[in-house]
A and B are shown apart, each in its own frame.
Chain A
Amino acid sequence: MNSLYKCLVALVFASITLSSSAQDLVNKIPADALAVATIKGKNFTDLMSLKEFNSTFIGKEILSKLSKGTDKAVNSVEDLGFDLSSSLYYYNLSNDSISYNCFLVPVKNAEQLEALYTQANQKFIVKNGIRSYYNSDSTEVAHWNDKFLLFVIGTGKSGYFARPEVAERFKLSQAASVGQAADSLSIAVPAQDEIAVDSTMVVDSLEEVVAVPDTIGYDYGNTFFKDEQKKKAVVAGWIQLMVDDFFAGPNTTSILNNKDFIKSIDQQAEATIWIAGADKLFNTYMPSTYLKGMSFLNGYGSANAKLFLEDKSIRINTSMAFSDEIAGVFKKVLKRKLNKRFLKYINEDKAIGYLAYAMDTKAYLEQYPKLMSKIYGSVYADEIGMAADLFSLLLDEGAISKVVKGDGLFLFNGLSQKEVTYKSMDYNEENFESKEITKIKKETLPDFLFMMSSEDTRLIDKLIAYGVKKELVKNSSGYYELSVPKSPLALYFMIKEGIIFFGTNKKDMQDIAGNRYVANVSRKHRKVLMNTNYAGYFSAKKLFGKISVEEFASTKKLEKLNNVLDSMGDIYLKSNPIKGNIYSGEISMDIPSNQQNALKYLFSLVEDAQK
């Protein structure tokens, strides 16, 4: 089993290294798959050759791990026998009783794959040209022919087995008196060979196997373990049926019939994850017994994420489809744009990163009851209805949205060092008598500025006046200083032109108050900030050399950190405007100009971190 995992790990990475095209296996994926992940081998090999991969740090690690415990060293990922000229896939199938995690991989050389198992002392059987490997309880199986390998991990659902009629059907002791069941039942775990040889086994016959007295001496003397073994035997039977069906013939209900899946395919993407429905997936994995009737993702539809490794950047694009109702809620909540005046206080020369958000507080508060009724509505319709009315009655959405309009910008302007005093013990040489002395050290502190829009600042003004009265707030010219005892981090705030400012830099505050703040925002950032509801930026490179050595145990460690910071490209994130019922976003990282492509750059980052 271990070796199989190794193979799979290798497989994922090996996908980077193989070229040419072969038959695509996607049509073999059933139409009812809940999730499909695709790795496009060819796209990877275009970026890095097989030879190059073998000599990378990760390549070497994988090869050495694969060689461990085998008779013959694996020198190249090509020797694994997989053909990644086509894409490789992971997909999930689930129903009320079982969840199958399946890996579907093209095979280039079945003999090489066999040799891999043989060298790792893992047994497999051959029947009708299909090689089959089973783990000890047959819940993890691998079957392969000359064209492809299917590896399946099956997990039975506890909720299903807990149902009284199911427990009775499979003679699980939890349905009967525990003591009695333990005495009268023992198990016959289908040994791997039994299942492997009898590929025509069906669930009914498996049940018989389960019910017969212990024939192979597995008696744990514990009803729990016996139940678990019985469940696993049932699961093993289902897996066998599924696999037999898979290898039996053409797939008449292919995922290629799913329009949404087809739409998610992007030939340029190196890897894609597609989810048939966020709500379906949520309901599949959430314990229905506890959350009966509640649907947290009600109205959330299909989703996908795509990875693009390009010449100049690494990008992950994500998108999710919503029902008309939920999309309508989003459209209302996201109609607000960022306050344009925030741009007057961004200085790109010193900004290391930012996070900006813009949503409409009024719309959100108005839509909130609707969202709640979508989640709990089916169970607590009456209660939710009353709560929603009460919510609207108590809250004046309009008034709140004037105080907090819903947009904000957090600017991370770097790190600064401040000298602080502290007490330490000093000992005289004469008799080591101790004396408390005051020492000075440097503290590295974050420098930030946060802005949010507010139309009605009366409440905040009152709070400030109260703070000043209680001497918690100090009034300076045009801005306030918040007194935080013992903290070297000074906090300042002010309200100006409908913006509440909150920051750590005194000079910034003075400049803002005196209309002297020098802003510098490039068109690129201006566009991202003003055209999206969520935007983020982080430039690790700008942190280079700004972290004090006192914060690190060794200069060497700091050097290493600085090297990593220096080699990292700028990171951006943004949301796109909602289009139809689809809301999407993107996270990307620039690649330094001296790098050939994104994949090689990622590998170089790993190599750097190992140095």
Chain B
Amino acid sequence: MIEIKNLSVKVHEKNILKGVDLEIREGEVHALLGPNASGKSTLAYAIMGFPEYEVTSGEIWFEGKNITNLSIEERAKLGMALAFQNPPSVKGVTLSALLETISKQTSNVKGFPMAFSEILEREINVGFSGGERKFSELVQIISLKPRFVILDEFDAGLDIINLERLTFVMQDKLLCNNVSILLITHRGNILQFLEPDVAHVMLNGKIECNSDNWRKIWRTIMRHGYEKCKKCEFSSSKQ
């Protein structure tokens, strides 16, 4: 589905990613863990092709196509989508207007928690609560009918009830349709709900640890912090 080969990225002349390798197959959920400023969000934006994230070496392949030099919208049209951690406000544009533009049809929030549907006629992310922002991101992404989704700290700002509700929607609308997910997170709850197939730990711009047993990695991080990951014990399944 998506393959990242030896990717190095700089942002405003600062090298952030230093040779990242990652492969996610169809329908797989991968968790990307790591301390603040380790480069997780940079990887997300670089995969989506944001212009400020300059690829200095390496390649990104999506469904057999080298997309390293494609624009953001070309990647989105190929089936890639990103749920932003802090999406910007779009004044004057209602969520329903954007959804209709995306999907070329009337917005449909069937299957979503009812409590959120009232934000459809509000300006995107203007005065949205944490939960409303996440609902907005998820409903936009589902409208795109993606093949691969990056969730950048989707659980931040969500209470446990809404997290469970929205991950249920993800399972129903994404995982049941064999969509691949890269889940960037700091927290264990979303891992329990989505049960990733593989977990990775990113430290200082590199993926230092990969395992198909996310619970082991999570336990280690909980007990010893990310320092322990520098001497990875679980890299037998390293990709």
Partners in one complex: no
Interface residues of A (CB under 8 A from B): none
